[in-house]
Amino acid sequence: MHEDNRTARVSATARSVVLATVALGCIALQYPSRPGYSALAAVAWLAASAVFDRAILARMWQPRFLAVSAALAALSGLLLGAPDARLAGVAVSRAGVEAGVVMILRGILIVGIGAWIARWLLARASFARSATGSRVSSAAAAAFDLVPELRSRIQAVRAARSVTGARTPVSLEQAAISLVCQTAWIAEGLWRQSPTAARPGEGEHA
């Protein structure tokens, strides 16, 4: 069992090393900004992802990003450079189309490498949490507990403003002051629950 875990860890490290090397190679291939090199880089990354970490491929499927990229590429064919070719009956410039293709391929590659880095970081998040010490994690844990509470208070303030019809800047300001005071009150409550707290009333509001 222990041996199995070690083998799995080693193979995960080996996969990360291979993917990091491929990522660096692909980034280097992007530099000449030529469609052929960019296509080679994108294909190499897709292949490496398919072999070593298929979850990256799922994360790369972002229809909105792909639609925006396609629109930008089409625009660059239409707007950049003098028209010197026809594509589906529309006058386009070769240089513009090439620039658009490079742009899309570069975008796909960066999104793919970004997806891998995000997965890599998330896998190490638990390690980072223990390494950064207890204070940040305690504060974050306390904050997690408070979010639903504060969220409901924000919604209550919003609801109170719409019921009373008081949508003037003055009432917005009063609502904001109320929220800040409540949050400071919660902070004082949090602190006074802790063993390091001083006597009540020693909190700073100066």
Q: What are phi and psi of 200, to 5 degrees?
A: -60, 140
- Shortest separation between residue 95's beta carbon and other proteins, angstroms: 10
Of residues 119 through 148, those in contact with other proteins by CB under 8 A are 122, 135-136, 138-147
The one among 17, 67, 156, 166 contacting other proteins by CB under 8 A = 156
Query: How far apart are alpha carbons 146 and 62 in whole angstroms?
Result: 33
CB 92 within 8 A of CB 79: no
Structure tokens at 135: 């204070």
Query: How far apart are alpha carbons 5 and 148 in whole angstroms?
Result: 38
The one among 92, 97, 106, 112 contacting other proteins by CB under 8 A = 106
Amino acid identity, residue 180?
V
* DSSP conformation class of 80: S
* DSSP conformation class of 194: S
- Shortest separation between residue 144's beta carbon and other proteins, angstroms: 7
CB 37 within 8 A of CB 30: yes
Instruction: Decide: is 70 part of the binding site for other proteins (CB under 8 A).
Output: no
- Shortest separation between residue 114's beta carbon and other proteins, angstroms: 8
CB 57 within 8 A of CB 50: yes
| Cβ nearer to other proteins, comparing 3 with 204 | 204
| Cβ nearer to other proteins, comparing 1 with 206 | 206
- Shortest separation between residue 195's beta carbon and other proteins, angstroms: 6
Interface residue list for other proteins (CB under 8 A): 33, 69, 72, 75-76, 79-80, 99-100, 102-103, 106-107, 110-111, 114, 118, 122, 135-136, 138-147, 149-151, 153-157, 160, 173, 176-191, 193-197, 201, 203-206
